[in-house]
Structure 1
């Protein structure tokens, strides 16, 4: 009977130990042998709160307070306006994720040196007393700039631990905040210099009105990039739209949806865009009327006053600027690896097959000079007149203009200091006195280095941050960071560097409200499916207890239970959304959709009535030349017009003689960043391997499945290899998110891409350049 149940639930018998042994007081999970599967089940609608590229409806099938299986939305018609919010294999794996036997069960305190990974169980009262004592001491000695709430996306619900902690710290004098994201730092910083906003995309249902869609490093089949994004691309393909994928990897999106794959060397995307512009200019294919009417800075006749001759975008492309290099297809072929004939054809297609959409993914902007490719895409959209029209796309960040209001928990930070989320190592080492030219905003200089870190539901301290070995060495130094608190489900690579670890409830054990990621016109209610187990606690619960130790309980909670805060969010949301359901109705259905009659077109009003609707830039026009960037007076690394800048550890770096392979870290369908890396089911689906091109493997005597050593000056890893023609020669890719697992020699044994990446923030956004690494690969005997 037991084996039959295992078969029905799709679990291998060897993995039963991962679900637990006994039902009862010890909190483990089990399958009874007395016919539990025949009992009446409850189906509970919920969703995820991890930083997945999608946000879907999850239906949890519960029997006797245990999850039997997970399904997804299948009970509404699948229409263009309301497609089903169907989960992928990541949603289906949440059950195994929750029932993992390695889940944290009780609070723990570090034993021995920080980073050794040795901990002892303590009570919740002991843990909160220890946290409060250290927080009081460090706040008193160093002030609010020393208290840092680390960037973390393991829980992105409206009621996450980060939200509550920021609320409490704001009442206790403040904390050091951050701006930007690891995923989108460059695009969110650079796009507004052209358009004044990051909301530059049409809604996805408008893609069927395009004639040509160019996907530049955009792979929604795996990254999702908003639930149903691949569905809308499929609709466009079925409508006859030609789709081209430009990517170092022949991605699943390219295979399933694209008519053509154009491989490109990492870090060189803007050289391709420059050469496409050269073709358009020299063959007079640009929409000059659009450029003259809506833009500044394309040519010398439309420059801001006081700018010396030769600084327009056209002058740069034609080589009439200081570098004297025409950005020809021949020039770009040598850099990008794309044949010049392909570049010429691609430029003509985009210029002539209107309307067209150049959709930029977030991979190309996670490079050494990622800001440039972002603005380069916006210029080509302007040159082709594809802005403000149906079927077009303004490029840049590309978020749609629609932004339905969903309320948030009120919190206020009296301390105005902010750093780039990526620059926290600098703020640890030289934070005191660190100023605006080193990522700081809101204050002239920081008054303290970071001394206390709250890492709540995140793995960016070590695993998802560049140069993991150096980051770990930095955090091990107690003379620098005095205290680190982590709240999580597992003993992750980052948690191992903590002084106190707190076990969090799982998203299937709590209620919350979540919104889509990037795209989507809906909001979801996360219903609690099963009871919390072991000594795991909800963030509001333990942070409320922490607030008592500062005499702030009444102010912090306002006398509200967690259920009452949820009702508060629903009521505030309903105030700005007539027809929004009551809290009870919202919980029962699990989803609320906004329905729109027409697609949203970014900048439609600006193009149709420019006098009444200027662009939200200082000039009121599309700023191909940015006076604000010019005034920064760093013209080589932060030019006023987008330029190709040869990257350190790119294909033109002299270091390529020593380390001849460009290594990137693509997003895998089996993980949400580092979440699920310890999930046995997902490892069966997609084992962690490095992707290597057939030619590169042959020249090194490597065969498929061999163990290989991947290394550079920053680190070494050993992992299996996947030999494939789906990645271009000279490029390798390690699926990002593998947990940093060094052995006694410091060699990573899991394939954590950030063992190899370099900590060097990008010049404008101070963002993440994690796709900029050179390595060598050798077979392990």
Structure 2
């Protein structure tokens, strides 16, 4: 029996092991057994109301640092180094609360389910407690063995230095860095390009409206007269936005929500408008067809803003020609664009595209009918939507900071570009109350912190980049979707290294450092990756829990949670400056990222040192150099920064800007002086055309048929690999109880919102599937087994599996998959485990979308989109047998 110092409950070891398995899955078994008797495991220390009322309990404000676009402040109730509870820091006094609630600013940063569950993560039974090494094969959790920090560091540094030796023959270090490690101080290394959340949006913005031009701020929606919330479930992915949208709704601004499933945002925010329902539900990957049809109707009925188009835009009219006044340089040559003449090629203007639709489908009614048949949205609804949007000034198209599901599809680049095209056609791209899709994360202005101290003065090297989504192919062949010559040209241009005529990349190991994401679980298809990872000599990970990326590692270092350290965080809306407070001492043998880097640096001979500074010392230096934006003094002349101690206490500083004074980034550019190649808002991009790295080959705004989609279903198209016919599409939405792969092991959230495949009742009935039954979702790439959630919120013909669930290969069931694992152009049969974790990544096809170009990536900061929505699949009550 185990007795704890609190005098609390007693529990047999057998019962405890069973409880750990239920709470943390298989992560609670094997190498964790030696730590199960630890007296500080929170699971054995229940908290009573009397505990919270104790006068010795400290209440500490802290920021919930989580990649969900929220800016929430928690109240932590702490006593004797133990977090008793986490509550909301958004409380306001009862007196005068009505006025406070009605006020737009300051926003009350109240947490959602994720924030309130953090205590379960701090004291999770499957937290990594000490360094471990794998003694069997990658992915086998029973092979992990506890070792000392010295042994783990020695082994890791031996592998790193061995790979470093190969720099002499390769010209670079064959180590792939995930997030922040010391590799940049060691020499040229490997990293990726590609943004899973917003790659297509970033490419569209760069090509269409200019380098670094951000969308309108969220609060600017309150200046609009009509809001189209397009493919953005704000309640799940941007927690600060429902407040602003609620205020817009209260003001009587009509809101139409367009999404491939009925979301909480639809139910809470949608109002509808004249002849337009609150919810419009297109099939996946058909949003851009609706936008194209809307543009055609607006143009045919002369509802477009001709004066604005001629003054601001390039590529709309045939034979458009302009002498650029752009303020930027050509990223290929370094020469200024200013003074160069650009002319849209014949057939590439937007009007010529619209004319081709007219000709192909028999006039405006035919184009509307085409978009309707493809999308499933009634033609009359599309027509009404076009007229309402064009005749309501100003009108806002909002698709979020990461533009939701439509952006993460096979033709997501064109969804983003057509959103901009529609805004430009109607003069809404640069005006207050308008918007062209993406949102600027800053509501108003942001505080600028002083510089943090440098821990290393050594030279930093730039990485050689390859496509994140083609990682399995790179591990197998050394090439992503580029030819050897293209790879050679890119690396020579960006890194000054000549890979030679047989250019390819060699990767010996992966080093996952500070804040690294779950790359194994989330960024590409799982089954090819399992095979490709066998080529790696070593994988080093810094982790908090045994997530899939950690399980497929050889050496694991345990890191602290955010509540065991102190640091500033700008928040996801950037208007906030927040403080993450250390609530407890680091648990077990866990260390901070800086401490781990310092230990690595000593062994690797890198002059990196914290010089005895604590994290509070670093923050104090940053705060000493903090400055308010000069422009903010006009809005609030009396605003003064709090002292460092006051900032630590409140943990949140906001610089609100009234909506009528909100900053519209696109409005600051004079016509002809946008930071694009032409200096104009582009319907056609000369740069993308000349670079020739657009995956689908079209450097302009229009509908482009995706590699997979509803057209394949309409045509009864067979899979070229397996010969199978798939009749369903799938989407992978975000959900409020997970943040990517985080929280998939948090039992209270998993129990509250069960994971499953959402399927329409008609689709379920056709397959004899009942709600709650376990079913198989499969395609050529793999198969996952999970619970069926039969719901009318899911449209017919489309199923949804929320993203982020952990890959869990079955020990008993296998599936016959077909994919090209040796990349010779021919698919082979692979017998793979059925995933029983509900991980949608086993269904993904490795595919770049948008613009696959490390040169453009350098300009945007994160180029190239991910393809996760609209792909084909099938659902079955029984395990598919194709024998």
CA change 1:776–1:695 in 2 (3 A) is same
Mapped partners of 1:235, 1:435: distance in 2: 54
Matched, 1:273 2:288: no
In structure 2, the residue corresponding to 1:662 is in which secondary structure?
Answer: strand
Show the counterpart of 2:512.
455
Show the counterpart of 1:80.
104
Question: How much does 1:399 deviate?
Answer: 4.5
Contact 2:319 2:344 in 1 (8 A): no
Q: How does 1:524-603 map to 2 (within 5 A)?
A: 524-553=578-607, 555-558=608-611, 560-574=613-627, 579-597=640-658, 598-603=661-666
In structure 1, the residue corresponding to 2:691 is in which secondary structure?
Answer: coil
Mapped partners of 2:748, 2:218: distance in 1: 32
Q: Which runs of 5+ in 1 are unaligned?
A: 7-12, 152-161
Mapped partners of 1:685, 1:743: distance in 2: 25
Contact 1:65 1:530 in 2 (8 A): yes
2:460 counterpart (413, 434, 441): 413
Mapped partners of 1:445, 1:650: distance in 2: 40
Matched, 1:489 2:544: yes
1:28 counterpart (8, 20, 41): 41
Mapped partners of 2:446, 2:689: distance in 1: 32
Contact 1:18 1:99 in 2 (8 A): no
Matched, 1:124 2:171: no
Matched, 1:506 2:524: no
Question: How much does 1:396 deviate?
Answer: 4.3
Mapped partners of 1:727, 1:192: distance in 2: 34
Show the counterpart of 2:424.
382
Question: How much does 1:437 deviate?
Answer: 6.0
Q: Which moved more, 1:455-464 or 1:487-496?
A: 455-464
Matched, 1:777 2:864: no
Q: For 1:622-673, what per-residue CA distance to the aligned partner results, in whole angstroms no more than 9, with x for missing partners?
A: 1112111222347882323212111122111224871111011111111111
Contact 1:247 1:262 in 2 (8 A): yes
| Superposition TM-score, scaled by structure 1 size | 0.89
Show the counterpart of 1:157.
none
Show the counterpart of 2:215.
201
Show the counterpart of 2:698.
639
Q: Which runs of 5+ in 2 are unaligned?
A: 10-15, 93-99, 272-277, 323-341, 631-638, 815-832, 853-863
Question: How much does 1:243 deviate?
Answer: 0.7
Q: Which moved more, 1:39-48 or 1:673-682?
A: 39-48
Mapped partners of 2:36, 2:465: distance in 1: 47
Mapped partners of 1:408, 1:711: distance in 2: 50
Mapped partners of 2:23, 2:362: distance in 1: 60
Show the counterpart of 2:368.
329
Show the counterpart of 2:806.
739
Contact 2:558 2:590 in 1 (8 A): yes
Show the counterpart of 1:352.
391
Q: How does 1:661-680 map to 2 (within 5 A)?
A: 661-680=728-747
Q: For 1:392-446, what per-residue CA distance to the aligned partner results, in whole angstroms no more than 9, with x for missing partners?
A: 1133465558554345655763235233443433442333795656986724766
Question: How much does 1:756 deviate?
Answer: 0.6
Q: Which moved more, 1:401-410 or 1:236-245?
A: 401-410
Mapped partners of 1:241, 1:669: distance in 2: 26
Matched, 1:468 2:534: no
In structure 2, the residue corresponding to 1:775 is in which secondary structure?
Answer: strand
Q: How does 1:278-357 map to 2 (within 5 A)?
A: 278-303=296-321, 305-319=342-356, 328-357=367-396
Mapped partners of 2:310, 2:286: distance in 1: 29
Q: How does 1:710-749 map to 2 (within 5 A)?
A: 710-744=777-811, 745=814, 746-749=833-836
In structure 2, the residue corresponding to 1:603 is in which secondary structure?
Answer: helix
Mapped partners of 1:688, 1:546: distance in 2: 39
Mapped partners of 1:542, 1:344: distance in 2: 59
Show the counterpart of 2:433.
391
Question: How much does 1:301 deviate?
Answer: 4.8
Show the counterpart of 1:10.
none
Contact 1:266 1:364 in 2 (8 A): yes
Show the counterpart of 1:708.
775
1:175 counterpart (176, 186, 189): 189
CA change 1:180–1:571 in 2 (3 A) is farther
Contact 1:525 1:591 in 2 (8 A): yes
Show the counterpart of 1:156.
none
Contact 2:520 2:548 in 1 (8 A): yes
Mapped partners of 1:244, 1:319: distance in 2: 29
1:111 counterpart (127, 130, 135): 135
